[in-house]
Amino acid sequence: MKVSLYVAGDAPTSRAARQALEALLDELRGVCVNYELVDVLLHPERALKAGLLATPTLIVDAGGRSRRFVGDLANRGDFAETIKAFCDQQRDATQTRG
């Protein structure tokens, strides 16, 4: 599972989103999550490629299924649930194979 957070420099909303996401990732201890932080002000071509409308945007991509969360992630519920659910599915799949 790939988790990409697109931020616009050190803007307040970007900073808030980054804090919220990284707090969750800490809880998950980095298990099964490939995390990438993209600053669109430094890498606008990445924003272009991702078809980005707003910052901050969190893109959760798990094998073809993807979700976008736009905003400062102040409401932790939705994105945390999604990431956890994707994580669980991935773990189940790994265990079945193992």
Q: Which residues bind other proteins (CB under 8 A)?
A: 6, 8-9, 11, 13, 16-17, 40-41, 44-45, 47-48, 51-58, 66-75, 78-79
The Cβ of residue 94 has, within 10 Å, a number of other Cβ atoms equal to 10
Sign of dihedral through CA atoms 40, 41, 43, 46?
positive
C-beta closer to other proteins: residue 6 or 86: 6
Q: Shortest gap between Cβ of 62 and other proteins (angstroms)?
A: 13
> Between 8 and 87, whose beta carbon lies closer to other proteins?
8
- The CA distance from 98 to 84, in Å, is 21
Given the complex with other proteins, which of 33 and 38 has the nearer CB atom?
Answer: 38
- Give me the least distance between CB of 70 and other proteins, in Å please: 5
The answer to whether 25 touches 57, Cβ cutoff 8 Å, is no
